[in-house]
Amino acid sequence: MPSPTGRSYQVISADSHVVEPPDLWEKWLPEKFRDRAPKLVKDSEGGDAWLYDPNGEPAPLGLVSCVAIPREKMKWTGFRYGDNVHASVHDGKERLAVLDFDGVDAEFLYPPQRAVNSFALYDDVELQLAGIGAYNRWLSEGFCAADPDRLFGVAQMPNVGIDTAVSSLRDAAAAGFRGVVISAWPSGNEKLTRADDPFWAAAEELGIPVSIHFGLASQTAGHVPAEEAAGAIGAVTGMVKMSVLMVDLIFSGVFDRFPGLQIVAVEVGIGWIPHAAEMMDDRYWRNRTGARTMLNKLPSVYLKENWTSSYIVDRIGIQVRHAVGINNICWSTDFPHHGNDYPYSRETIDNHFTNVPEDERDKILAGNAARLYGMV
């Protein structure tokens, strides 16, 4: 599928990640904030780890830096920059070589969530904006600059109020970002309200898809150990959290007010979506009068018109792809997190797409992402 620059895309990962380089904060964060920046320390095995909270535990690199590591050797601790942490996790030029070897044409890149969320936890608004701003600048001007037609950053939005959220969205669009990701409702409120509407309006106006990766911070009750968040528990809770957000956004009438708004449900799979759509429609018909909830369309229609979901491994989802919506599915690698199949992504794809027509395969692997993000 050709882009406006003439580049052809056959395989696009709609959800890949970066890991912060060891010198990110030193180079990109304003000097006045560096004493409160994440610190590189050692883990229990002498590997590198980021200390995001001075009173917390170090966060090792292992399972977010899995590049061609056999599954039986995957673990959190003992991984070091410049040693067994592959440079492609934080260097754009090295990432391009990995993409070439894996047969992937382009990626949409999501943040190291532990890093950006650490700034979001600070009550200091100026510090949060500086930290998230430093990350977004590094992503755009550093990592993705290696090839802006293959490496597409998804800008992290701050959580300090609706005016700043809207201005940050506009700044991201002006900087060339094709998508943004939120970790909280744009207003900063714990629940979705009409106070978030200016952000949705701006996203619709600018044609910028808004991603939600796994869930929102307000859905997290207490600390989830990293070993769980990166494993089976995280995979299951992600789709549970996203189903709640789908209900919130659809039944609150957001898409009636902003019919052009596009939401991307990232890394939550697709096989569960047809059942969720059926249940939403059923409950809407049964309860709309008593609940005084009147929508312009059935909930399932909004899922087809306003939502795109990405998956890594979901054979059931591909089997029920027509119930999900052929135009609403994007494939992803999750590279370099431990769920990725590098360097065998093409093999994983072929195993999923047995007896799938070529035109449907093309949409899921590249066409849907290209259309969603204005690459065609």
Q: Where are the alpha helices (DSSP H) in 123-253?
A: 125-137, 162-174, 197-206, 226-229, 232-251
Q: What are the CA-CA distances from residue 372 to residues 210, 211, 241, 253 (Å)?
A: 11, 12, 23, 22
What's residue 304's pLDDT? 97
Q: Is the pLDDT of residue 119 over 90?
A: no
* Residue 158: DSSP 8-state: P
Rounded distance between C-alpha atoms, residue 216 and residue 211, angstroms: 11
Q: What is the mean pLDDT of the chain?
A: 92
How many Cα atoms occupy the beta-carbon half-sphere of 318 within 13 Å?
23
Q: What are the CA-CA distances from residue 128 to residues 113, 115, 138, 184, 374 (Å)?
A: 14, 11, 16, 14, 30
What's residue 2's pLDDT? 44
How would residue 287 be classed by pLDDT, with cut points 50, 70 and 90? Answer: confident
Q: Is the pLDDT of residue 318 over 80?
A: yes
For 1-37, the pLDDT digits (tens) are 445 557 889 999 999 999 999 999 999 999 999 999 9
Token digits for 278? 């059926």
Q: Do residues 89 and 152 lie in contact, with contact meaning Cβ atoms separated by under 8 Å? A: no
Token digits for 28? 């990109």
Q: What is the CATH number of domain 12-38+90-372?
A: 3.20.20.140
Token digits for 221? 């009750």
DSSP H or E stretch at residue 210: strand 210-213
What's residue 220's pLDDT? 56
